[in-house]
């Protein structure tokens, strides 16, 4: 009887293994495929898309969320550090907005707890969009097309920064990039990666990269010190997590960036100092792991990293509702 | 026999009249519906769309064609005058790219004969994208995705400014906005306009606006002096057509702007000095026609002008091919 039961259980387990091959494969890995995007109200996301592309949320009328989180370019601006109002040089590299809902917090130092909180930041940052929430709201309230759409989405006449940032966050939650070649491999398609790419993935795991870059977003789920084994030399004045916690131990601790779509989100690091994936892999090895990757190892890791490019969001460019005669005029030059 | 023939002809004519009602209606008007967009090579237009949205055609890596001809905002930037590299204040209001293929020439002073010639201008203008054609081409040639796409579109390995501007022009030729309410009315739907809008159109014709704003694009087909009856007072130093012809008679002659989508393309005039349609109509009456429109007349003309908003182009936001390690780095700050 005992033997029979054991065999029965074995048979059941085997069947489970066979039908759930993909799940089993990913269970063994320290990373996982992207989850499906959180279900959001499509009307809120559509409104949020308009706001994301609308430069009238800036003092100049020239800078929108999409200026620095460009959805044509991996949700980043591909600049070392960003350009703000009056061509100010930003202090930090623009992180991608893609899959950002998976991050434990927003901004490099995690000072915003979620996308909604983040969305209000750049609008009012004097070095970025240089507006105020009050003027942004006055602007939106003067635009009949927006007034009607906010009412339709939120079922209220209230149009405040709360509704604005909720809508932008709803849009951003849709910005998920599934089905990278690596995800296909994780899901069981063993032909999705080449031998070199797989060798790169093995190096990525065996060398310790995966200690920080793990989970569904290959990062974004912890703060880590930049420069663990060797101190990081940079002209950047960004201090990282210490600015939020006040704890000296958090100096130069930054949110670990996602590696998804890394091929599109150059340059790298919080200061944008690594121009290429080759440089980033080399420096990460030295600074964080105390390891010098050989050229061959570096090439393989980079080949693996390029398999993390997912399907980019299909965005129909929004047509923005026109200003009215009462809309405050943009002030780019004063 | 003669009578019979005459009646036969009359019957034929009547049938023609009945089946071609729309054509007859528009024949009586000094304006006409938008023609269908010129057939272009869809692959060339798709490549051109990428280039139109690509800030890597600028020195900074931040400014694209779409920055000042924003397809979310009527193909304009809705600024008095545009913002260029290093936040330079441009000398002139950005004209809409929508329906621009119908214009007799490009730029306010007509210095480019067509869209292809225009497209090369801002890239190399130190006050706009501040790049050079040589660097733009070096950049594009370093991007494998572009190299492959140019080859596919143009069936040659040649990748020069000629192919670049041909592709951008091909995309721009697709940016046509048909089926405005006014076009529906022209096409025979007599319910498409309200009584006030029709009264505004009658005023537009009877007052002489139509002398310059005529044809399928309500303008764009002649150069005219700004300030015919009264001299135009402006801080702008733009001299207009004289810069092209060298003839003093062409001083302050500018290409008549299209009125299509005028609701979206504020502010108005070559210097962007008229912030609202109300102001623009009032000033045009005084300066060009020696006429003071009453408030009621102005309201009706503005109501008519708002019927010229057509269907905006449906644009799927392009995903740009990533730079390679060899791509020259953007230089926003030096």
Q: Which residues in chain A are contacts of B93 at CB distance < 8 A?
A: none
Among A59, A52, A88, which Cα is nearest to A329's? Answer: A59
pLDDT above 60 (res B19): no
Among B234, B250, B232, B213, which Cα is nearest to B286's? Answer: B232
pLDDT at B150: 98
The tokens describing A216, both together, are 């569904």
| For residues B65-94, average pLDDT | 98
Tell me whether residues A78 and B318 touch, CB distance under 8 A.
no
Choose among A263, A320, A329: nearest Cβ to B322: A263
Choose among A62, A73, A318: nearest Cβ to B77: A62
B128 as an active site residue: the answer is: yes
**Please, are residues B266 and A315 in contact by the beta-carbon 8 Å criterion?**
no
Tell me whether residues B72 and A54 touch, CB distance under 8 A.
yes
Give the whole-angstrom CA distance, residue B51 versus residue A289.
40
How distant, in Å, are the alpha carbons of A16, B151, B157, B159 from that of B154?
53, 5, 8, 9
Residues in CB range of B155: below 8 A, 6 or more apart: none
- Helix, coil or strand: residue B97: coil
> How many C-beta neighbours within 10 Å does residue A59 have?
25
Give the whole-angstrom CA distance, residue B265 versus residue B309.
10
pLDDT at B38: 77
The minimum CA-CA distance between A50 and chain B, rounded to whole Å, is 9
State the best of A313, A323, A324 to mutate against chain B, taking most chain B CBs within 10 Å. Answer: A323
Q: How many residues does chain A have?
A: 334
pLDDT at A38: 77
pLDDT at A27: 57
Choose among B62, B315, B329: nearest Cβ to A317: B315
Residues in CB range of B118: below 8 A, 6 or more apart: B106, B107, B112, B169
Among B333, B102, B233, B307, which Cα is nearest to A90's? Answer: B333
pLDDT at B13: 40
Query: Where would I find the beta strands (DSSP E) of chain A?
Result: 83-84, 88-89, 223-225, 253-255
Backbone angles phi, psi at A49, to 5 degrees: -65, -45
- The pLDDT > 90 percentage for chain B reads 89
Per the residue annotation, which of B29, B128, B292, B297 is the catalytic one?
B128
What would the DSSP string read from start to end of A78-136?
-SSS-EEGGGEEPSSPPPP-TTGGGSSSBSTT--BSSHHHHHHHHHH-TTTT---HHHH
Give the whole-angstrom CA distance, residue B127 versus residue B83.
8
Q: Which residues in chain A are contacts of B72 at CB distance < 8 A?
A: 53-54, 317-320
pTM of structure: 0.92
Which residues of A sit within 8 Å Cβ distance of B? 53-56, 60-62, 67, 70-74, 77-79, 83, 86-87, 89, 263-264, 266, 275-276, 278, 312, 314-320, 322-323, 325, 329-330, 332-333
- Helix, coil or strand: residue A276: coil
pLDDT single digits (tens) B106-161: 999 999 999 999 999 999 999 999 999 999 999 999 999 999 999 999 999 999 99
pLDDT values of chain A reduced to their tens digit, one per residue, 334 residues: 333 333 333 333 433 333 333 444 445 799 999 988 878 899 999 999 999 999 999 999 999 999 999 999 999 999 999 999 999 999 999 999 999 999 999 999 999 999 999 999 999 999 999 999 999 999 999 999 999 999 999 999 999 999 999 999 999 999 999 999 999 999 999 999 999 999 999 999 999 999 999 999 999 999 999 999 999 999 999 999 999 999 999 999 999 999 999 999 999 999 999 999 999 999 999 999 999 999 999 999 999 999 999 999 999 999 999 999 999 999 999 8
pLDDT at B16: 39
Among B126, B143, B139, B136, which Cα is nearest to B85's? Answer: B126
């Amino acid at each position: 009887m005992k033997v029979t039961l054991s065999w029965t259980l074995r048979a059941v387990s085997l069947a489970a293994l066979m039908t759930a091959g993909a799940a089993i494969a990913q269970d063994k890995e320290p990373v996982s495929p992207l989850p499906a995007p959180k279900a959001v109200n499509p009307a809120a996301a559509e409104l949020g898309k308009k706001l994301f592309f609308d430069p009238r949320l800036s003092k100049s009328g020239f800078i929108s969320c999409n200026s620095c989180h460009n959805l044509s370019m991996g949700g980043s601006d591909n600049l070392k550090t960003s350009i703000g109002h009056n061509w100010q040089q930003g202090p930090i590299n623009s992180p991608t907005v893609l899959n950002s809902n998976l991050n434990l917090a927003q901004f490099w130092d995690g000072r915003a707890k979620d996308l909604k909180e983040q969305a209000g930041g750049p609008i009012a940052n004097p070095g970025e969009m240089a507006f105020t929430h009050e003027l942004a709201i006055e602007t939106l309230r003067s635009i009949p097309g927006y007034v009607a759409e906010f009412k339709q989405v939120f079922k209220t006449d209230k149009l405040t920064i709360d509704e604005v940032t909720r809508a932008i966050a709803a849009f951003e939650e849709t910005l998920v990039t599934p089905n990278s070649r690596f995800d296909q491999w994780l899901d069981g398609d063993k032909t999705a990666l080449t031998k070199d790419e797989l060798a790169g993935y093995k190096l990525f795991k065996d060398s310790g990269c995966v200690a920080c870059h793990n989970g569904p977003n290959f990062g974004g789920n912890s703060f880590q010190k930049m420069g663990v084994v060797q101190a990081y030399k940079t002209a950047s004045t960004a201090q990282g997590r210490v600015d939020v916690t006040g704890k000296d131990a958090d100096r130069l601790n930054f949110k670990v960036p996602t590696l998804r779509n890394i091929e599109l989100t150059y340059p790298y690091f919080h200061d944008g100092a690594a121009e290429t994936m080759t440089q980033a892999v080399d420096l990460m090895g030295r600074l964080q792991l105390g390891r010098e990757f050989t050229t061959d190892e570096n090439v393989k890791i980079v080949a693996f990293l390029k398999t993390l490019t997912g399907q980019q969001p299909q965005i129909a460019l929004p047509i923005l509702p026109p200003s009215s005669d009462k809309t405050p005029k943009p002030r780019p030059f004063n």
